[in-house]
Structure 1
Amino acid sequence: MSNENSLLSQMMPQKESLRRDMKSRHLMMISIGGTIGTGLFLGSGQTINQAGPLGALLAYLFGGFIMYLVLLCLGELTVAMPVSGSFQSYATRFISPAAGFTTGWLYWINWAICIAADFTAAGIIMNNWFPMVSTWIWCAVFAVVLAVLNLVSVKAYGEAEFWFASIKVAAIIGFIIAGASMMFGFNSGHEALMFSNFNTGGEGIFPNGFNAVFLTMVAVVYSFQGAELVGIAAGECDNPGKHVPRVIKGITARIIIFYVLAMGVLAGTIPWQEAGVLESPFAHVFGMMGMPIAKDIMSFVVMTSALSAGNSALYACSRLLWSMSKEGLAPQWLGNLTKRDVPYNGIFLTLALACMSLLTSAYAADSVYLWLMSSTGVTGCLIWVIIGWCQLNFRKEFIAKGGSLKDLTFRTPLYPLVPLLVIFLNLGVVASLWLDETQHIVLYTGIPAVIATYFYYVLFMGKNSQAAAKTKAS
């Protein structure tokens, strides 16, 4: 084991350490908090409308399967080499510094946009309650709150996220129970719906065709993105070798169960023709039950969920920028820490970009939100491809340098099938955008952004990069 630790240290030298104050419950809820957000609470209605009841269930099952494969790959990397940069650092080391540069900056932009979407969703809810206060003011308030939570300490952030995520998990469980009571006749105010809404009449199993199910995959995969935050948080975990494998298994089961059961209840209680994105379908179901107070409570949960996802995203972005600064892939000032080892400049820079949410409130929030959801989903898929690619290269190099598989605490099963599936399936989801003309703009903007970021490194940073020197030294 000591030889294995020495080999891994040579393959991935440790950076200046951040405080390891995270516990397993923090890792679990951070990952759940980053995953269960507006994609479920606001985007699920659109999926049901496009794919139909059974199609939506299939789409979410398939999305959960892809997420599980990604976490299997990330698990081996994270347990063997727990660093705050996670897959960005792995991309630098096991693919190329240019790939690490591209991965880090695209992922940062991806999550900063997600924070913007989360602020907008939460701001719209608050504006509905307090119409005299503009949405952009609420966005500014939320930005200050999340900044304070992240600046205090990593332990304070972990505790806040634990309770943020606990609220929405409890709400989802309550929703599943309440919705199931409507479906099976336990609610005296309604006749049993049973599975009547799954009957699409003469429309067939998939009312808009199977292609519609395929085309919803970007939005569905977006809903599952955030689970990989466990890799970034593991760099500040007190015992990653013990906690990370347990967390990966736990979050996979919990997230898939929550999503699939919640989608089953939504599809069973809301006719697929009526599902939409402007109102939370969760709040709509409570309204159907004649519980207006519960509907307001659900809106509060949706707001809390958006802030929870934004909180996790802000944490991930600040750690990512810190990691890249240590590898020479970002300005050195992004590596500055507070007395409690918090990378404060990364927090401020991320919030500056995230304040694009103030712009979205001035336009049609429904169309802007859907566009943001698709564009970030594409970037997330490409990051998942990178994770599979890194795991392929890591395992190959580890064995070539004399490492033994029995010395890896967590091993990706069915190697190389699992990482190859991760790469193939995620590229397939991205390619599916071409089949939807309304999503062509995402490809037209997203792919050039990837190419431009990569070649910026090659043309302007490659020769003098500290990251290049470090990887060659190993």
Structure 2
Amino acid sequence: MKVFGELEFWFALIKVAALVIFLILGIYFVIFGTPTHSETGLHLITDNGGFFPNGIMPALVIMQGVVFAYASIELVGTTSGETRDARKVIPKAINTVIWRVAIFYVGSVVLLTLLLPHTAYSADESPFVTFFSSIGVDFAGPIMELVVITAALSSLNAGLYSTGCILHSMAAAGSAPKFALKMSKSGVPFGGILLTAGVAFLGVLLNMVVPAQAFEIVLNLASLGIISAWGAIAICHLKFVSLAKKGVYARPAYRMPGYPVTDWIVLVFLAGVLVLIGLDYPVGTYTLGSLIIVIPLMIIGWFACRDNVRRIAAEREGYTGIAPVVASRRDAEYLKNRKSR
């Protein structure tokens, strides 16, 4: 765990440092002008077709790519099981994630539109490289390639560890291979991580078979997984609050604003993204069509491990080992008695 955390720290540091440098330079150039005296400002948007120069439909269809870019923010919640004081730390972490997304993601995109017209950017080159090249900083290309590689490694590092942990929990509950239960002496779920790495290797084989479409295929498949995860979180939250109202769980002080309307908004939005993936012909259409095979396989998988899951649950007498956040001594006593039965 320490190695994964250390790697993620340095990967994240490189990404954040690159974005901070760009944000500072970008704001300076918008206010005071670029070294090449090129035009900057809001008129680059209004004079080149507005916010949707190619119409709103292409912007909507690319939504699955946007969803992919925001993947793993749910890991903030996943870490709660390893957090010493989750009731204080997790709410702060969630709030800071929102600000980071607004500043680094949204802020950098806004700056790019204010520095160059949209026609200057292309799918063959990083927009950051395009901008720095336009002001004569040619060495920015290799540097940004390093940042992109670092970002990919960061995503892979986080994905391997988080998925390994999830597979370990699933194996403990009886719904994943027992191999995923294997842990190192330092507490790393290497069984789940190796299984995850094996699936990731399939991406290498896919790139060998269809190199031109490999990224788009993986993008759409990842988006399906992300949508499923986020949808499950929203549904579980609806169920959790319903059970909390019946006295089964105690709700924490940090709560989702606008419940239950916001949960349903999330579910409707995710359903809309699924439709947009289907409209992205041909890769998106075929990817969505793959659910005809994937969903029945998941149902078959559930029936295959259902008895094992129920047996393990019965042995634990309903106690999952994951205690909800309690708000009073009475709730803590209730959970203690429940665990000891």
TM norm structure 2 = 0.85
The one-letter amino acid of 1:159's match is E
1:319 matched to 2:180? The reply is: no
2:291 is matched with 446
Q: 2:109 aligns with which of 247, 263, 266?
A: 263
Equivalent residues of 1:277, 1:366 under 8 A apart: no
**d(CA) in 2 for partners of 1:282 and 1:357?**
27
1:177 matched to 2:21? The reply is: no
**d(CA) in 2 for partners of 1:333 and 1:326?**
10
The number of residues matched between the two structures is 317
Unmatched 5+ residue regions in structure 2? 320-341
Distance 1:274 1:372, change over 3 A: farther
The one-letter amino acid of 1:446's match is L
1:368 is matched with 214
1:410 is matched with 254
1:47 is matched with none
Distance 1:311 1:272, change over 3 A: same
Name the structure, 1 or 2, with higher relative contact order (CA <8 Å, separation 6+): 1
Root mean square deviation of aligned Cα: 2.3
**d(CA) in 2 for partners of 1:418 and 1:471?**
34
Identical residues among aligned pairs (%):
29
The one-letter amino acid of 2:41's match is M
Give 1:229 deviation, angstroms.
Answer: 1.0
Which secondary structure does the structure 1 equivalent of 2:213 belong to? helix
Give 1:310 deviation, angstroms.
Answer: 0.8
Which secondary structure does the structure 2 equivalent of 1:190 belong to? coil
Which secondary structure does the structure 2 equivalent of 1:163 belong to? helix
Which secondary structure does the structure 2 equivalent of 1:231 belong to? helix
Distance 1:177 1:261, change over 3 A: same
Give 1:205 deviation, angstroms.
Answer: 4.5
1:286 matched to 2:132? The reply is: yes
Equivalent residues of 1:462, 1:468 under 8 A apart: no
Which secondary structure does the structure 2 equivalent of 1:158 belong to? helix
Of the two, which has the highest radius of gyration? Answer: 2
Give 1:257 deviation, angstroms.
Answer: 1.8
**d(CA) in 2 for partners of 1:285 and 1:364?**
31
2:42 is matched with 195
1:159 matched to 2:159? The reply is: no
2:265 is matched with 421
**d(CA) in 2 for partners of 1:244 and 1:284?**
38
Q: 1:240 aligns with which of 86, 90, 95?
A: 86
1:18 is matched with none
Give 1:409 deviation, angstroms.
Answer: 3.1
Question: CA offsets per residue over residues 346-397 of structure 1, 9 Å max, x none?
Answer: 2222112212243244356453212211221122112111100000001111
Give 1:283 deviation, angstroms.
Answer: 1.9
1:48 is matched with none
Which secondary structure does the structure 1 equivalent of 2:222 belong to? helix
Aligned pairs (5 A) from 1:338-377: 338-362=184-208, 365-377=211-223
Equivalent residues of 2:175, 2:306 under 8 A apart: no
1:254 matched to 2:100? The reply is: yes
Give 1:182 deviation, angstroms.
Answer: 3.7
Distance 1:413 1:308, change over 3 A: same
Of residues 437-446 and 246-255 in structure 1, the stretch that sits farther from structure 2 once superposed is 437-446
The one-letter amino acid of 2:125's match is E
1:104 is matched with none
**d(CA) in 1 for partners of 2:312 and 2:132?**
53
2:179 is matched with 333
Give 1:402 deviation, angstroms.
Answer: 5.9
Give 1:404 deviation, angstroms.
Answer: 5.5
The one-letter amino acid of 1:170's match is A
Unmatched 5+ residue regions in structure 1? 1-153
2:54 is matched with 208
Give 1:223 deviation, angstroms.
Answer: 0.9
1:226 is matched with 72
**d(CA) in 2 for partners of 1:200 and 1:248?**
38
Equivalent residues of 2:75, 2:162 under 8 A apart: yes
1:393 matched to 2:239? The reply is: yes
2:335 is matched with none
The one-letter amino acid of 1:247's match is A
Distance 1:343 1:254, change over 3 A: same
**d(CA) in 2 for partners of 1:200 and 1:268?**
11
Distance 1:443 1:472, change over 3 A: farther
Give 1:189 deviation, angstroms.
Answer: 2.4
**d(CA) in 1 for partners of 2:89 and 2:178?**
31
Which secondary structure does the structure 2 equivalent of 1:259 belong to? helix
